[in-house]
Chain A
């Protein structure tokens, strides 16, 4: 086989070339091919700009107002009916005469590029919207701005939600599986009564199917309060879930975006096509995930370096907002972006063999991190003193700023303090006096509720106030020592919560550092423990006559025989304790115990004065013996759940810049302490822990903010379609300038490059150009 070789040294590009042929056309979607377009020879396209996010593309047009261009068509040049409008009064006012060469608001227009062979490609598609006139002594001009077809997404706002019948939460495709309502479209609403977000999405794998060619699937809303039946064998709903799995699920980013696109993107053109086409829903759930790094570094393009987790939406109400703005609200803060893409679809060839594209617009979502939608692209700038060669240089000007002021590399989730269900022994918050039990106006009757209006502060609390002294500033009666402990008494001991409040694993503390601060902790009336029907128990007060544990106030140690008190007290709102509200503490109506309850006092009444002021011994009357009170309630700890996305070595900033996100309405941790009367396990029970979900939320914020944005712009001195919104620029070749903004590439960290957030094609004057804006549409630094 003969062999040979040759050297190929192409000549450099020419320094100047013909500009792209750009034309403005009126577009009629009911026609096909070239017939859909009507060329507007008196309108000049000045600029087309595309941007990321909830901003439709725009195009600026200008009328050619020139009396010399009077011949609009063949015929008598003096026939004014065949001339272009040449005065502003013929174009700008709403009442100006109609003309085929005049564009009115709402006209559909397309900007086409015609190549030397005559093939036409779509550059922009939209509607004429904003006419403007500028008149001066020396000139007049009439401009108008066109807005991309995506503007049709702003024609309506999101209204009521689509919800499924509560009786058939897993049924799909029926008349009642997706019922339109006027109820607010609110995802995972917070509920102050439950102090957490409510799940109100339909179960997974029970999605509705959109009537489109992709048969995209989407979830709908479900009543957050319907209960899963405890006994699935008698459940008439089919298929019945296991009792532990509720029907409702939380809205994730993926599910919410699918729902919004399916129910709110409904505007259609005359051909019954969506103005802005939806993406394939099947990829959205996987796209909108948070990546938990397996180590210190991770590469979003390599799934072995991370664990993907769903991102839950916090309480968000989308009602009365346009769809694009809702999408931006949900996605941008979590490190995702979207763009409206207008492309041309090739149709049948024209009679002359050329092709004319048909405009097509769709919405495209992408990650705003090292796993962008396309492979990174380059700008070209040769080293100084190189030969001028357009093929090796496409940048005529470039400016950029790396905004480290905008960097936050550590995020912490603020939640409500961890809540603990505890049982505490209360101490009398008063000093009993022997003789108070005697029935006279100067003693026992003094403490009647009807007599308290004129009573002193001490008398109002006497025999009624029972406390835990958790702040160490309350006086209380020591039952064991039969002595009153004043607030500053050395023997005045606040209740010890050490066995309840445990430090976070991440907390750096010495053994002597306290786990909590002594402060007031009012009890809640709703417990964490659930009754057999799945509802939380109410706070419980009980009394005992044989308790032999530590002297109150203290945590319950599990000893003693206790009878529940069913009435005539209220939980204090300013501190941990109760206040007896009976007419007379001596006749404290506590309710008669039921047949299955512990019976200590079956008369239904406690002598809360005699039992303290003059208690009988163990051999005396049972009704006059000392009693102890145990309150089971829920109190706050001092720390939120542990959800800190710490700074990573990949962040190029040497300092840790930390911020907190207020998520008190959504994530929580609840613990049933070992001392709770409803906890028979012998150890604390964590009844709810959203730490993983909160951490995933924090990590997503970190991903979105841990690298400094490289903001700036690059100016290319010709029209080019090589760069689009959403592209990444990784380097300036020639000069070998690496635009990576994060560290750790050698350790496997995915490279993070600036994104193109806006592309502007300028056709003004004698030179066409393309301007790219990077990462942020400004160059000045911004302080957080």
Chain B
């Protein structure tokens, strides 16, 4: 086989491998989650604190007036409340990823 053909084929194969390595994973971006506050050991007594939260999945018939079924997870993580009120335990909140921390706002 002529050397040029061999070299061209190797280049083509290397290019195919590079293309293949291009990540097709989801791009980064801020994440929002529907969560429900919970108590792990001791529920916070101040508004602006880290609260333990479960993620919650909402399901139901998407029609006006119908109710949703909420299914909570069992693994807790922590989100900081930037609001002015203490959410009761079990309150649904929207949690956002902000600069590396999970944050929600509850003002009552």
Partner of B25, one of A193, A569, A586: A569
Partner of B21, one of A570, A605, A621: A570
Q: Is the CB of A567 within 8 A of B77?
A: no
Q: How far is the CB of B4 from chain A (nearest CB, A)?
A: 13
| Given known contacts A591-B26, A603-B55, A623-B77, A524 and B17 CB-to-CB distance under 8 angstroms | yes
Q: Is the CB of B100 within 8 A of A584?
A: yes
The B interface, classified by DSSP as helix, strand, loop or mixed, is mixed
| Further pairs besides A589-B26, A603-B77: 15, Cβ < 8 Å | A192-B13, A439-B99, A524-B20, A584-B99, A586-B100, A587-B30, A587-B99, A587-B100, A588-B28, A591-B26, A599-B75, A603-B97, A604-B31, A605-B100, A662-B6
Partner of B100, one of A192, A444, A622: A444
Contacts of A525 in B (CB 8 A): 20-23
- Interface: B59 (CB within 8 A): no
Which residue of chain A lies nearest to B5 when distances are taken between CB atoms in the complex? A662
Q: How far is the CB of A68 from chain B (nearest CB, A)?
A: 59
Separation of A509 and B79 alpha carbons in the complex (Å) = 59
Chain B 7-28 interface mask (CB, 8 Å, partner A; 1/0) = 0010011001110111111111
Separation of A214 and B44 alpha carbons in the complex (Å) = 92
Q: Is the CB of A602 within 8 A of B77?
A: yes
Cβ contacts A to B, 27 pairs, < 8 Å: A192-B12, A524-B20, A525-B21, A567-B25, A569-B23, A570-B21, A570-B22, A570-B23, A573-B18, A573-B21, A582-B28, A584-B99, A587-B99, A587-B100, A588-B28, A589-B26, A599-B73, A602-B55, A603-B33, A603-B55, A603-B77, A604-B97, A605-B100, A605-B102, A622-B77, A623-B77, A662-B1
What are the 8 tightest A-B residue pairs by CB atom distance, in nearest-first order?
A586-B100, A567-B26, A192-B16, A582-B28, A567-B25, A570-B23, A587-B100, A568-B28
Separation of A607 and B95 alpha carbons in the complex (Å) = 16
Separation of A571 and B19 alpha carbons in the complex (Å) = 11
- Interface: B65 (CB within 8 A): no
Q: How far is the CB of A412 from chain B (nearest CB, A)?
A: 15
Chain A 444-488 interface mask (CB, 8 Å, partner B; 1/0) = 110000000000000000000000000000000000000000000
Which residue of chain B lies nearest to A570 when distances are taken between CB atoms in the complex? B23
Partner of B16, one of A193, A601, A602, A623: A193
> Which positions 67-108 of chain B face chain A at CB distance < 8 Å?
73, 75, 77-78, 95, 97-102
Separation of A588 and B25 alpha carbons in the complex (Å) = 13
Q: Is the CB of B77 within 8 A of A439?
A: no
Separation of A592 and B31 alpha carbons in the complex (Å) = 10
Q: Is the CB of B97 within 8 A of A605?
A: yes
> Which positions 276-334 of chain A face chain B at CB distance < 8 Å?
none
Contacts of B99 in A (CB 8 A): 439, 444-445, 584, 586-587
Q: Which of A192, A569, A592 has the most CB of B within 10 A?
A: A192
Separation of A570 and B25 alpha carbons in the complex (Å) = 8
Separation of A136 and B65 alpha carbons in the complex (Å) = 111
Separation of A610 and B102 alpha carbons in the complex (Å) = 14
Total interface residues on B, CB under 8 Å, equals: 33
Chain A 547-581 interface mask (CB, 8 Å, partner B; 1/0) = 00000000000000000001111110100000001
- Interface: A583 (CB within 8 A): yes
Q: How far is the CB of B90 from chain A (nearest CB, A)?
A: 18
Q: Which of B12, B16, B20, B25 has the most CB of A within 10 A?
A: B25
- Interface: A186 (CB within 8 A): no
| Given known contacts A193-B16, A571-B21, A602-B55, A583 and B28 CB-to-CB distance under 8 angstroms | yes
Partner of B20, one of A526, A581, A609: A526
- Interface: A665 (CB within 8 A): yes
Separation of A583 and B98 alpha carbons in the complex (Å) = 11
Separation of A581 and B21 alpha carbons in the complex (Å) = 14
| Given known contacts A566-B25, A662-B6, A601 and B77 CB-to-CB distance under 8 angstroms | yes
Q: How far is the CB of A522 from chain B (nearest CB, A)?
A: 8
User: Using a CB–CB distance below 8 Å, which chain A residues touch chain B?
Assistant: 192-193, 195, 439, 444-445, 522-526, 538, 566-571, 573, 581-584, 586-589, 591-592, 599, 601-605, 607, 609-610, 621-623, 662, 664-665
Separation of A581 and B23 alpha carbons in the complex (Å) = 10
Separation of A525 and B77 alpha carbons in the complex (Å) = 32
Which residue of chain A lies nearest to B30 when distances are taken between CB atoms in the complex? A587
Contacts of A603 in B (CB 8 A): 31, 33, 55, 77, 95, 97, 102
- Interface: B60 (CB within 8 A): no
Contacts of A665 in B (CB 8 A): 9
Separation of A689 and B55 alpha carbons in the complex (Å) = 47
Contacts of A599 in B (CB 8 A): 73, 75
Separation of A591 and B23 alpha carbons in the complex (Å) = 14
Contacts of B101 in A (CB 8 A): 587
Separation of A195 and B24 alpha carbons in the complex (Å) = 20
Separation of A195 and B101 alpha carbons in the complex (Å) = 44
Contacts of A524 in B (CB 8 A): 17, 20-21
Partner of A566, one of B9, B16, B26: B26
Q: How far is the CB of A97 from chain B (nearest CB, A)?
A: 51
Separation of A522 and B97 alpha carbons in the complex (Å) = 33
Separation of A665 and B78 alpha carbons in the complex (Å) = 53
Which residue of chain A lies nearest to B73 when distances are taken between CB atoms in the complex? A602
Contacts of A605 in B (CB 8 A): 31, 97, 100, 102
Q: How far is the CB of B78 from chain A (nearest CB, A)?
A: 7
Which residue of chain A lies nearest to B77 when distances are taken between CB atoms in the complex? A603
| Given known contacts A587-B100, A602-B55, A662-B6, A568 and B20 CB-to-CB distance under 8 angstroms | no
Separation of A583 and B12 alpha carbons in the complex (Å) = 32
Q: Which of A602, A603, A604, A609 has the most CB of B within 10 A?
A: A603
Q: How far is the CB of A660 from chain B (nearest CB, A)?
A: 10
Q: Is the CB of A621 within 8 A of B29?
A: no
Contacts of B95 in A (CB 8 A): 603
Contacts of B73 in A (CB 8 A): 599, 602
Separation of A348 and B1 alpha carbons in the complex (Å) = 54
Q: How far is the CB of B72 from chain A (nearest CB, A)?
A: 11
Q: How far is the CB of A212 from chain B (nearest CB, A)?
A: 37
